[in-house]
A = this chain, B = another copy of it.
Amino acid sequence: MEKVAIIGVGQSEFGELWDKGFREIVLKAGIEAIEDAGLEGKEIEAMYIGNMSGGRYLAQEHISALIADYSGLAELGTPSTRIEGADASGGLALRQAYLAVASGIHDIVIAAGAEKVTDVASEMTTDIMASSADREWEGFVGATIPALFALMAKLHFERYGTTSEDLAMVSVKNHKNGVLNPKAQFRREIRVEDVLNSPLVAEPLHLLDCAPLSDGASAVILANEKIAREYTDNPVFIRACTQASDYLAVQNRRDITTMESVRKASSLAYRMAKISPEDVDVVEIHDSFTIAEIMAYEDLGFVEKGKGAELIREGITELTGPLPVNPSGGLKACGHAIGATGIRQAVEITLQLRGMAGKRQVDCETGLSLNIGGTGATAVVTVYGVR
């Protein structure tokens, strides 16, 4: 396997971008990444695009071809491939791009993620997101994604003593970090009581336990290590990028407080990167719901099962703590542009490892990101290092 470096990153702002079209936000992220890498479009040998539901959000499938066309790379015939795995689409696109370079098939590829959610009525959005769960066994009986995470939260509360206050603290932390990120959707602090007093979406999850659904795009350029230094003085290396599955329908899982996909993908990633969880300095976690961040602390091996809440209670995962999680603001505050999120996480970790994360910079040499699809049937774990 060849060693793979991230040589360029780009991100549109995340949010309700009423005045911008899908094509515009994708191009913004792509051009930013290309300029950051200092290369020309024609040097890109392949494109991998993460997008969850262009079909329903935009009445547009074949998003890969749309982007090849709009970016001008169709003129060269550059292969462009859309990858979909609900809100893990970005992470999956990153992984296919990583494999394309790691295998030696390509030297320079772009992985991008994008979603435009505000072009449909907001009441449709919940149904579209429910299509990331099992339509026949979950959706048809009324289970939405918040409802399914609420079930996980209730059992976690019951079995391990996790509380609504613990969940609220995750959201408070991520909002605090988001203030420091110029591209974040929500740049204001909130308090624990704001979360607890916000409306219940699916008990025990309040509105402020839930990440927004956002418009946005993100892109990273990957290159074979052998040529990476021709483009950048501070390459960030992907030391592992792994993927695992769990049952789609939550009812089929042995233990709904565990995301087996996250356990399997992270164990493999640590083994491939030859590190242990203690070696990780900075993390981006898929906090689509606050309980997902708590469960991920456990399933990523940062703490034993059931003790996830301790990390937030003790300030371990604060920006100033020993294991900063979601310095970007996470999905909750930076925004969750669905298919863009997995790549957006890679952008943040890259900026952190380069020492270019501005006011939210933490001290780090090894980073990790976790991107999950829906309620965790798909997980992608990526480990990054400065060497």
Contact = CB atoms under 8 A, between A and B. Distances in A.
Instruction: Say how many copies of this protein the assembly contains.
Output: 2
Contact of A62 (B80, B85, B102): B85
Interface in A358-387: 373-374, 377-378
A137 to B, nearest CB: 9
A94 B13 CA distance: 35
Nearest to A265: B77
Contacts of A65: 85-86, 245-246, 248, 373-374, 377-378
A341 to B, nearest CB: 14
A182 interface: no
A69 B377 contact: yes
Interface string A42-65: 000000000011111011111111
B53 A55 contact: yes
Contacts of A104: 103
Interface in A117-176: 127-128, 131-136, 139
A174 to B, nearest CB: 25
A77 B1 CA distance: 23
A357 interface: no
Interface in A51-100: 52-56, 58-66, 68-69, 73-75, 77-86, 92, 96, 99-100
A68 to B, nearest CB: 4
A165 to B, nearest CB: 32
Contacts of A79: 243-245
A359 to B, nearest CB: 36
A85 B77 contact: no
A103 B106 CA distance: 11
Contacts of A60: 131, 134-135, 139
Contacts of A247: 69, 74-75
A255 to B, nearest CB: 13
A225 interface: no
A52 B75 CA distance: 24
A245 B80 contact: yes
A105 interface: yes
B249 A59 contact: no
A32 interface: no
A332 interface: no
A173 to B, nearest CB: 29
Contacts of A215: none
B260 A62 contact: no
Given A74-B377, A80-B245, 17 more contacts: A23-B136, A52-B61, A53-B55, A55-B55, A55-B128, A58-B135, A60-B134, A61-B128, A61-B131, A62-B131, A62-B373, A68-B248, A74-B248, A77-B264, A81-B92, A82-B84, A99-B105
